[in-house]
Amino acid sequence: MKAGFIRKAVAAAVIGVVGLASSHAATPHDQHDTGVKYRPDVTFTLRTDIADGKLVFIGEAGAIKGKVNPQLAVAEGAIVQINLVNGDGATHDISVPDFKASSNQLNTKGASTTIVFKADKKGEFKYICSLPGHVQAGMIGQILVGEGAAKPKALGAEVSRSPMETGTPVGARGPQSLTVNLDTTEVLGQLADGTTYKYWTFNSKVPGPFIRVRQGDTVTVNMANAADSHMIHSVDFHAVTGPGGGAAVTQAAPGSSKSFTFKAINPGLFVYHCATPMVAQHISNGMYGMILVEPDGGLPKVDREFYVMQGELYTSQPHGTLGENEFSLEKLLKEQPEHMMFNGTMDALTKTHRMEAKVGETVRIFFGVGGPNATSSFHVIGEVFDRVFSQADLTSPPIRNVQTISVPPGGASMVEFKVEVPGRYILVDHALSRLEKGLAGFLYVTGPENPAVFHTAEKMDPNSGH
């Protein structure tokens, strides 16, 4: 790239738009020295890539190196240069609409482009890839002008439930009397990096605890609503035969407790949730979980068990907005969630909790949908479910060799499969637009390669997924 061309472009940039590409050859006219001199006050280099199933920008150098969609902090009035390198081979560009700066498109891996602009107003602004669908796919970051340093990110409690918390199998024991204690709490939780939400929970996690009993057990449920709650809460167990599944007798005001006792008559995997009006809001905010009623003799032994539930959040702010997000009644009633997730948060099963298995092991997933509205098409990319207990029917023979299962809101299913090849396997709802709203999880399988089942001519990164 010729110096005269750069100077000419920068002169345009500080009054409006500039887009320079390394693939553009400078012409003799471009090389003409206009006398315009510039030196950027700050330079950032970003690379396009794919991370955790999303299209992203990744920092290439300095304090932002390796960071996904890094925040770029600059002083007011600074001349800012952003270099973009195409790292994935797809078509991309970079644009800062508030400063009318946009680049040309990069079409090949390794190509690069530059934008330069004057950050002449304070505030928080976005840099994006302007190609249709790329912002929704994850290519959006923040430029902070006037602070000189990044603002502290919004922090909340870790509310995601570990998928490894599946309780103790009942085995071959006989019926017993058991007690379940549930505390309903309202917690400012970490929805995503830099984003918080006021969750309503059972036992301060989403989903609530995995409750494991035996067919024929007598179960006493004690439910206490925290004194600092603002809402009445309750619990409805789909496994309960009785008024409201228990909800009719557990409507508890803040600071009060309720209890009831039921007999676990029907084996199966059942959802429980808050059933205080408006019920959909309580469920969406995180008040759901599952209870497993094991049949006489218990379940067959497997090597790994995981507890996974799908949920939705309806916020006034768009998906990806930093700071505290607030509930939107309008979006709930229109069934238009901004966020969809496994186990309560965007990062629950991708960063916070690591699901692992070894080659040759058998995996069982207890899967349920809290909802409150969306049916899930649950799928593990790169695996086939060897056995599916459809609708969580644990007494009928399972169906076999299934690719994707449909689970309604308030429903559940149990799947089992043997892992035979190492790698990272992605849990999704195969309504795949939901991936862009945060609905993904990882299962890491370690162990020796198995070329009889799968092999490639190239050596693969076992954490790369596909």
| Alpha helices (H) along 296-358 | 329-333
> The sheet that has 42-51: what strands, in order across it?
20-21, 112-118, 79-85, 42-51, 54-59
Contact yes or no for 276/234 (Cβ under 8 A): yes
- 455 appears as a binding residue in the annotation: no
Please tell me the distance from the alpha carbon of residue 236 to that of residue 421, in angstroms, as a whole number: 41
| DSSP line for 80-92 | EEEEEE--SSS-B
- 353 appears as a binding residue in the annotation: no
Contact yes or no for 268/393 (Cβ under 8 A): yes
Find all residues with CB under 8 Å of 428, minimum gap 6, and list them: 378, 379, 380, 381, 434, 435, 439, 440, 441
Residue type, 131: L
Residue corresponding to tokens 């058998």 = 362
Please tell me the distance from the alpha carbon of residue 165 to that of residue 178, in angstroms, as a whole number: 18
Strand partners, 120: none
Please tell me the distance from the alpha carbon of residue 50 to that of residue 67, in angstroms, as a whole number: 12
- 238 appears as a binding residue in the annotation: yes
- 274 appears as a binding residue in the annotation: yes
Contact yes or no for 447/431 (Cβ under 8 A): no
Per the structure block, which two tokens stand in for 254?
């803040």
Per the structure block, which two tokens stand in for 115?
């934008």
- 282 appears as a binding residue in the annotation: yes
- What is the helix (H) or strand (E) element at residue 260, kind and residue range? strand 257-263
Per the structure block, which two tokens stand in for 340?
């969809």
Per the structure block, which two tokens stand in for 310?
């799908």
Please tell me the distance from the alpha carbon of residue 69 to that of residue 84, in angstroms, as a whole number: 12
Inter-CA distances, 2 with 6, 73, 234, Å = 7, 28, 69
- What is the helix (H) or strand (E) element at residue 415, kind and residue range? strand 412-418
Please tell me the distance from the alpha carbon of residue 117 to that of residue 139, in angstroms, as a whole number: 20
Strand partners, 291: 211, 270
Annotated binding-site members for Cu cation? 233, 238, 273-274, 282, 287, 430
Annotated binding-site members? 233, 238, 273-274, 282, 287, 430
